[in-house]
Amino acid sequence: MPTNGATGPDALAAAGAHGVPHGRRNRRTRVRGHDDGRRLGTADLGGELGERATLVQFSSAFCAPCRATRRVLGEVAAMVPGVTHVEIDAEARLDLVRELGVLKTPTVLVLDAGGRVVRRAAGQPRKADVIAALGRAL
């Protein structure tokens, strides 16, 4: 998305639809659409899929934005029925990190009820952006 100062759910939706970077403040969040129909299951996640959607967060131990992302995703999962938040330690799951092409932490995947990746973002998301991205999975 061009840097026209747009922020919020519309900006994420537009950025995700076009697969282009969406920058805000001094961080850059890269949003992409689905990953060619890739599905993740309980064995991949180390936890159960949400009834309606799953927010998957790849984190690392000393990542400050990961802590803030954990809080945001946990709050969204608590307020949207049927949505689960699963956090994966990127260092412990290098096989999955490589397979999915995770290049930085935090990286957030939004999965639909069947575990299909419908949205992906690298960088610390805002709550409104996460809620908007869930619209693709629900």
d(CA 125, CA 68): 9
pLDDT at 102: 96
pLDDT 10s digits, 88-126? 999 999 999 999 999 999 999 999 999 999 999 999 999
Under 8 Å between Cβ of 18 and 1: yes
Per-residue confidence band for 38, with pLDDT thresholds at 50, 70 and 90: confident
What mean pLDDT is reported for the chain?
A: 81
pLDDT greater at residue 135 or residue 127: 127
Cis check for the bond before 9: say yes or no (omega within 30 of 0): no
* Position 18 pLDDT exceeds 90: no
pLDDT 10s digits, 64-75? 999 999 999 999
pLDDT at 138: 87
Would you tell me how many other CB atoms lie within 10 Å of the CB of residue 13?
18
d(CA 75, CA 95): 28
Reduced to 3 states, what is the DSSP secondary structure of residue 108? strand
Per-residue confidence band for 36, with pLDDT thresholds at 50, 70 and 90: low
d(CA 125, CA 66): 10
* Position 17 pLDDT exceeds 50: no
Nearest to 11 by CA among 137, 138, 121: 121
Tokens 């945001």, residue?
A: 72
Per DSSP, 2 falls in state -
